[in-house]
Structure 1
């Protein structure tokens, strides 16, 4: 009995396919179909037409947005945000605010490092992702006031203030912390700080416990430092880190040691490892994306070497060369690129690629 039922179903499918084909060629041929088969054929054709219309709409939307989801993403690296900088890596409150203002007005939307490396870049069409990273957990980056909110002059406070004036500019960033957690020495205060970050959409990433240069160190030394930073974060109740920023941007003798390891009761496995580089980072969908060696751009103005290698210089370049940067199509289920850039997408994502002809 089951075999007969299966045969009947197959026969119906075959006749429905004949009807669908006939409808494309001409409705008159449908005379050989039953009423049920005609209804099934009508439904199949309607679904096909709706699917094609939806696809065409996505292509049109990608073209209007000039989408390029294989383009470059600026991953910006900040340290202290202070009134009077004492080292080149410091930024003043005014400089930090001005750079955020520029990002907002030029169509950038902050995403966390974890969202970037895992490809969860869900931003509006025509917008560009930017990753804001803050190293070393300085109190200038996050100081909570008596009411539990960030100091307005801290990096977190400034970011939230700028976002409040620019709808769509997400107030999120990735904090790469070390043992001197915002110079808070009590476990309760440290827990509160990390909980505030996690509860407000920020990512807490690992920067090792002691901020030692890992280049030239043994595998055991590298693993112990990274694992200690990992357990520092999870021991204070924060989610397990998804990304790591290498101290001084220096890679261990083997890249894999930074991404995955275990010592004692602690093990870690990271989706992305960030260095201190001099260029924007590739799209996570690009064939040239290396999750174990992601470059970051140092925050800086247009003086000296910074004119070419720091944040202001690279933002100038991407503004002048918009085809180089990642531009979203607004649809998180597709990877939209101009037709001539299709080969730049990693082969493992090819089934999600949507191409369009630039106008």
Structure 2
């Protein structure tokens, strides 16, 4: 065999030795990785079991119903069935606090960011039409005591854990302010203090039966009204005027008009039941129900806030109860068929 043949064999042998060494190293690495992977899996399973046990202890049901309560004016002289007196509003908030409800915003609800303590229940407080009775600031930028925000802040101060947050669906008549500067002051105060701002269209027109152009232009104009005043405000949701959906429901969720684009994660109606959990198959972002705030009388014997809070209190397993862990969706095992597939990875049945 010539000199060059010997060299070729030597190179080949060297390659085989290197390959064998490499394979040996990989085998050793795999051997070390397997126990580590098993340990990680065992640790994850222990964590899951501990989380499930904690969820079971508080009877967590994050597939349960959530009351989204609709308010309009808070006034000593109600002008209609949508108005509530300051005393009535305070009484309802005190009841919610005593029954372990914790306010969240509409944006938090539709995005599933429900970070409340274990054993408590979310409630969404929404205010339509941006009336001065909902928020009026004094010369020092403090909410007046008899406004909705003033009352909410006072109740929260007396009940630690009762978050003073709500969602305000604004229109052109923005809290009784007319100059851009005054309007920007109010919107800025809300966003800087953890409140949520939603679109209620610019002119509060009934969108029922309107053309796509009319619908999208009204919604886009409402979007522009907000973002022109405060570009930092992110608008996540829309409340339909009178609760009436347009001919194509999706027009309310996504669209554009006069060069302004809107893309929302939720569209709210005006009645008459608690809303589904955002983690269920039942959740429909284009038609989220709300409950009118009212005592049990007339049409409200069954379908307004007092009646529904009574119903949920009488059947506590039907309402949303948090496990206290925003990274999981906890529920009794038999409710598994109702979980939206998008949340399967963080599902925690027990």
8 Å contact from structure 1 (residues 233, 240) kept in 2: no
Describe the superposition over 1:82-129 as per-residue Cα deviations: whole angstroms up to 9, x where unpaired. Answer: 011110000000000000011111011111000000000011110110
Q: Alpha-carbon deviation of 1:57? A: 1.1
**Alpha-carbon distance change, 186 to 308 in structure 1, aligned in 2, over 3 angstroms:** same
1:186 aligns with one of 179, 185, 191: 179
Q: Alpha-carbon deviation of 1:349? A: 1.2
8 Å contact from structure 1 (residues 121, 332) kept in 2: yes
8 Å contact from structure 2 (residues 221, 257) kept in 1: no
SS class of match (2:208): coil
SS class of match (2:189): helix
8 Å contact from structure 2 (residues 220, 258) kept in 1: no
**Alpha-carbon distance change, 8 to 116 in structure 1, aligned in 2, over 3 angstroms:** farther
Describe the superposition over 1:101-158 as per-residue Cα deviations: whole angstroms up to 9, x where unpaired. Answer: 1111101111100000000001111011000000000000000011101001000000
* Structure 1 residue ranges without an equivalent (≥5): 21-40
1: CA distance between counterparts of 2:283 and 2:325? 21
1:123 aligns with one of 116, 124, 128: 116
Kindly indicate whether residue 6 of structure 2 is the aligned counterpart of residue 12 of structure 1.
no
Kindly indicate whether residue 138 of structure 2 is the aligned counterpart of residue 145 of structure 1.
yes
Kindly indicate whether residue 166 of structure 2 is the aligned counterpart of residue 173 of structure 1.
yes
2:318 aligns with one of 317, 321, 324: 324
2:342 aligns with one of 335, 344, 348: 348
The aligned residue for residue 301 of structure 1 is 295
SS class of match (1:71): coil
2: CA distance between counterparts of 1:222 and 1:82? 31
The aligned residue for residue 63 of structure 2 is 70
1: CA distance between counterparts of 2:41 and 2:31? 17
**Alpha-carbon distance change, 6 to 233 in structure 1, aligned in 2, over 3 angstroms:** farther
* Structure 2 residue ranges without an equivalent (≥5): 1-14
Q: Could you list the runs of 4 or more consecutive aligned residues of structure 1 that deviate by over 2 angstroms after TM superposition?
A: 1-10, 12-17, 43-53
Q: Alpha-carbon deviation of 1:49? A: 3.9
SS class of match (1:225): helix
The aligned residue for residue 330 of structure 2 is 336
Which has the greater radius of gyration? 2
SS class of match (2:261): strand
**Alpha-carbon distance change, 9 to 243 in structure 1, aligned in 2, over 3 angstroms:** farther
Describe the superposition over 1:267-325 as per-residue Cα deviations: whole angstroms up to 9, x where unpaired. Answer: 10000000112100000001110000000000000112212000000000000001110
**Alpha-carbon distance change, 58 to 230 in structure 1, aligned in 2, over 3 angstroms:** same
2: CA distance between counterparts of 1:45 and 1:209? 58
Describe the superposition over 1:17-44 as per-residue Cα deviations: whole angstroms up to 9, x where unpaired. Answer: 7xx6xxxxxxxxxxxxxxxxxxxx3x55
5 Å-filtered alignment, 1:69-218, equals: 69-218=62-211
**Alpha-carbon distance change, 5 to 297 in structure 1, aligned in 2, over 3 angstroms:** farther
Count of residues paired in the alignment: 333
Instruction: Kindly report the root-mean-square deviation, in angstroms, between the aligned alpha carbons of the 2 structures.
Output: 1.6
The aligned residue for residue 251 of structure 1 is 245
Describe the superposition over 1:36-77 as per-residue Cα deviations: whole angstroms up to 9, x where unpaired. Answer: xxxxx3x55554443332222101100011000111100000
1: CA distance between counterparts of 2:349 and 2:32? 32
Describe the superposition over 1:154-189 as per-residue Cα deviations: whole angstroms up to 9, x where unpaired. Answer: 000000000001111100000000000011111111
Kindly indicate whether residue 253 of structure 2 is the aligned counterpart of residue 237 of structure 1.
no
8 Å contact from structure 1 (residues 76, 133) kept in 2: yes
The aligned residue for residue 59 of structure 1 is 52
